[in-house]
Amino acid sequence: MSSPYPGEPTGGPSFLRLLIASVGGATLVASLAIVVFFVAERYGIPFVKKPEPAAVALQTSPQQTEALFLNGLKAPDAASEWWPARADHRLVAYAVLNCKQLLGVSLDLMPRPVFSALLLDLTPSGSHVFLTKDGDGALLAAHGKEAPPLALTNDDNDLLSLSDSIARARIAAAEGAQTNVPRVQGLGFITLVVAALATLFVTMQGKVRQVEPTDDEKKALLREKFRTRVSYALVGPGAGFRWVAFFAIFLSILATSLTGVKQVYDPTRNLTQNTRALLDLRQLHQDVILGVRCDNQSKAVRRDGRVAEEWAGTIRRMRATIIPEYGAYANLDVGGSSQRPDPTRADGRDADDARRAERDSLRPNRDSNTPIVPNPPAASTPSPTPAGGTPAAANPNPANPPPRQ
């Protein structure tokens, strides 16, 4: 076959043309396959049947009251003391609720009035508020439709109030300690660096040789301009010794000033006191949790009066040891020992023991039938009997003496 163009070789298409046509055809087929697959997946014609998500079945399950409370609350970070304090109080509240044996009320889906009556709505700020988002209020109302009311006894209220007071005290102590941690670290680091540099320059002052100008050099320097004299003092002969001496004096004064600042403003005292109070409050909260007992007959929490009084006195003393942020500027009477009548012990336990012993002595003994007999009045001393007269003690009315015989 001849070519219609002059100079073009005959004999069919060349190898380069075949290669270009093959690559172009393969690209076109691959592009069409990709487009067809995308359209089929986009418009509901999948090649492989998709499995139905399992989360759809979980949306119909009721949500816990605890989760609804946390949804409407701006919860703090995981390192906050609010989480463990509220967890410990939740154990006490659950023990009280289980003791009531209410039908239709569970721990997960308890009604909102029950949740608030058990003081479970404690916020990180220390208040009791139950905030809900849009739609959560209807779920809470559905939880409490058929729930019986919760009747709490005096012992139940006292135990819940004590646990709530401990939880709020723990939050306050933790906040007071965490606030002073960066201040303690910063002040301690600055004091350490200043003290180390002061020691270094004082030591160097004894090793550096002092260069004294001659009398002629001093006279010539005094005739120079002020700028020249300043330049001579800063970088002239003997300037190294002068710099070392200046920094030794300056850093020594600065270290002494930092010591005075620490006495006026001492965040270390706040941190130490609040941390000790926090550890003691955690231990007390654990004792309260382990001390809960339920009376199955009365369906109420049973408590020992002496133990309850000890817990109340302990939380009172511990809350007095929590130092607020502004307490670093004052020399506080930690624990309030000066306000107690018995100053022999700083924690006031002797005064509490004396008052408790006095109450026990005035309380009648219920186990015995012996009545309490008041103390008899003191007998008066009889007056001497005059001669031939009537004794003074036998006369019932001294104002009207009997007639003489």
pLDDT along the chain (405 residues), means of 10: 48 59 68 68 56 46 79 85 94 91 80 89 89 73 70 88 94 91 90 92 86 82 84 83 90 90 84 92 92 83 77 88 78 49 45 61 52 50 49 50 52
pLDDT reported for residue 194:
93
pLDDT for 248: 92
Asked if 301 and 155 touch (Cβ cutoff 8 Å), the reply is yes
User: What's the pLDDT at 345?
Assistant: 44
Going by C-alpha positions, the residue among 154, 155, 80, 79 that lies closest to residue 122 is 80
CA dist., res. 110 & res. 64, Å (int) = 8
Integer CA distances (angstroms), 198 to 94, 194, 261, in order? 60, 6, 18
Q: Where are the beta strands (DSSP E) in 270-376?
A: 293-295, 300-302
Q: What is the pLDDT of residue 298?
A: 78
- Number of Cα atoms under 13 Å in the Cβ half of residue 156: 21
Per-residue confidence (pLDDT) for residue 81, from 0 to 100: 93
pLDDT for the residue 175: 92
Distance, in Å, from the CA atom of 273 to the CA atom of 174, rounded to the nearest integer, reads: 11
* Widest pairwise Cα distance in the chain: 188
pLDDT given for residue 388 in this prediction: 47
Which pLDDT belongs to residue 110? 84
C-alpha–C-alpha distance, residues 170 and 270, integer Å = 15
**Nearest in space to 332 (alpha carbons), one of 266, 253, 397:** 266
Tokens for 101, please give them. Answer: 């044996």
**Closest of 399, 378, 312, 397 to residue 349, by C-alpha:** 312
Supply the pLDDT for residue 253: 93
Nearest Cα residue to 187 out of 252, 260, 258, 257: 258
**pLDDT at residue 82 in the model:** 93
Which residue type does 247 have? F
